[in-house]
A and B are shown apart, each in its own frame.
Chain A
Amino acid sequence: MSEQTSKPILAIRDLKAGYGGGRMIVNGVDINVGAGEIVCVIGQNGAGKSTLLKGIVNLIQLRQGTVQLDGKDVTDLPAQKLLLEGLAYIPQGRSIFPRLTVAENIRMGGYLIKDRAVLKRRHEEMEAMFPALAELRGLQASSLSGGQQRQLELARTLMMDPKVLMLDEPSIGLAPRIVDQVFTVLRDLAKLGKAVLMVEQNVRKALAAADRGYVLELGKVRLEDRAQALLDDERVAQLYMGMRPTAA
């Protein structure tokens, strides 16, 4: 699936993003994500992965380039409008509301849903999708385990039924077994037709779960290929998976 078979749901063109002072951290990035596809961006600490996602959802000071969602130019829409258009984002680190209950957290995911009946139905769907959360609904979110908190973030984000889901390091801080669970959920979502764009440092597992990948270095795309091809790539193995060069 290296070449985009159909038209991408999310198309980023020549994106530049930075935090002020005119210095661009992300410096001209092109990325496509198709429906039902998981795309993974890897790169070292400080490569600009988080900045890239913040740039896409317009939660950053400096920004150039274009963002198209489902064929529509959404470059200048604020994050709130992007959410309504179907582009959702989970930031890096724990982004739950720690002292709201699990149920309140999920319902906040539907903050922009005005219709109470829809809100209630979506909430029920999320509890069906994440049964563990349904059992914990009255608990404070901060008392959940790391993996449950990640599930909660996903449930909260899926309340808006987005077309594109962007995640900043979904595996960070989780035990290996839990990481596998999270990626399984992402695969399931892709099967449902969602486009997933994630940024990861857990290169091996993330690429194993992804369809295609991009390697970001110093704010630019260095490599772009099918995930399996990147996994087999010696440069990627050396730089991001801690392998020594094979030819010594």
Chain B
Amino acid sequence: MLAFAEQGMNGLMMGAIYALFALGMVLIYGVMHVLNFSHGVLFMAGAYVCQVIFAQLTGNYFVAILGSMLVLALVGCLLEKGIFQHLRGSLSMQIVASMGLIMIVQNGIIYFFGPLALHMRVETVESKIRLGPLSFTAQHFVIIGVTLVAVVALDLFLRHTRLGTALRATSQNLEAARVVGINPDSIFLMTFALATALAALAGALLGPLFLISPAMGDLPLLKGLTAIVLGGMGSVPGAIIGGFVIGILEAQATLVLPTDYRDAVVFAALIGILLFRPYGLFGKRERGEP
């Protein structure tokens, strides 16, 4: 029972990371119909930028997280303007471009920081918090709390602001969006910025708990994709729930299976979903949109 509760907490924490990660991917997919496979390296770059701002520039973890989100949002804008804008409508070209980006970003990081993992030492969040007989790092709670805040903020933005509504409108009917005077290009730019900032947030949050390494985004990419498929390929709430389901599932799986099988469980679930519920857990077909 204790182990169950402990893994539940770990699952929630990783689920929060996956949810943030999947949110960014689903926004880009929903609005632009681009499957951005480079989301994983952007997550990783976010962790590195956070480390640089924290360890070398400010010593303030909070500032480092915000800084990293900002930097990656700019990177997202550049990627949209420089690359993806020109590949609209060609899924194969988008995939090729994403793969190229993965190599460029990953090797760029290795060039500047070396191939070895770095340790982001943030003392305040490394401290332990006791919950009865269990104890977790403060970072567990920070991650879950920040994710909840981010999700609520995003929901408010999408549903209650002019720009957020325009984002949803654009994803639902591009032609009609143009007709009412929305400039889709600026909506796309904003979506990319938002999505990469969320990737950076996830990377920056996970940094102090695990080591930072050039490959740290690889598995989250696959799990983020799984979360999106689970959530019905395009629904924002679906992606969030999908992220948490995966985090909790893989954490609980370690109670009954060897830890090495943790990832296999997730991908087995993915295959199961694709076989039996191809439109996701919630069943309703919604052509990718937030």
Binding site for B on A (CB under 8 A): 57, 59, 79-80, 83-84, 88-91, 95-100, 104, 107-109, 111-112, 156, 160
Contact = CB atoms under 8 A, between A and B. Distances in A.
A149 to B, nearest CB: 12
Interface in B133-177: 162, 165-166, 168-169, 172-173, 175-177
Given A108-B165, A111-B166, A99 B289 contact: yes
B176 A83 contact: no
B57 interface: no
A88 B178 CA distance: 11
Interface of B: 162, 165-166, 168-169, 172-173, 175-183, 286, 289
Contacts of A89: 179
Given A99-B289, A100-B165, A104-B165, A111 B180 contact: yes
B173 A97 contact: yes
Contacts of A160: 181
A106 to B, nearest CB: 10
A154 to B, nearest CB: 13
Nearest to A81: B181
Given A80-B183, A156-B180, A107 B165 contact: yes
B181 A100 contact: no
Contacts, number: 59
28 contacts: A59-B175, A59-B178, A59-B179, A79-B178, A79-B179, A88-B179, A89-B179, A90-B179, A91-B175, A91-B179, A95-B173, A95-B176, A95-B179, A96-B173, A97-B169, A97-B172, A97-B177, A99-B172, A99-B289, A100-B165, A100-B168, A104-B165, A104-B169, A109-B180, A111-B180, A111-B182, A112-B181, A160-B181
A97 B178 CA distance: 12
A83 B175 CA distance: 14
- Counting chain A CB atoms within 10 Å of each CB, the highest count among B166, B176, B183, B286 belongs to B176
Contacts of A108: 165-166, 169, 180, 182
A168 B165 CA distance: 25
Given A107-B165, A108-B165, A108-B166, A100 B179 contact: no
A111 B172 contact: no
A129 B178 CA distance: 25
Nearest to B170: A97
B173 A98 contact: yes
Nearest to B166: A111
A107 B162 CA distance: 9
A80 B183 CA distance: 8
A97 B172 CA distance: 6
Contacts of A91: 175-176, 179
B43 to A, nearest CB: 29
A241 B197 CA distance: 58
Given A95-B176, A111-B180, 4 more contacts: A59-B178, A84-B181, A91-B175, A95-B173
Contacts of A84: 181
Contacts of B172: 97-100
Nearest to A83: B181
7 closest cross-chain pairs (CB), A and B: A112-B181, A95-B176, A97-B169, A80-B181, A97-B172, A83-B181, A111-B180
Nearest to B165: A104
Given A83-B181, A111-B162, A99 B176 contact: no
Nearest to A89: B179
Nearest to B173: A97
A97 B176 contact: yes
Contacts of A156: 180
A66 B179 CA distance: 20
A88 B289 CA distance: 26
Contacts of B173: 95-98
B175 A99 contact: no
Contacts of A99: 168, 172, 286, 289
Contacts of B169: 97, 100, 104, 108
A117 to B, nearest CB: 14
A146 to B, nearest CB: 16
Contacts of A79: 178-179, 181
Contacts of A107: 165
B233 to A, nearest CB: 15
B262 to A, nearest CB: 36
Contacts of A112: 180-181
Nearest to B159: A104
Contacts of A100: 165, 168-169, 172
Nearest to B290: A99
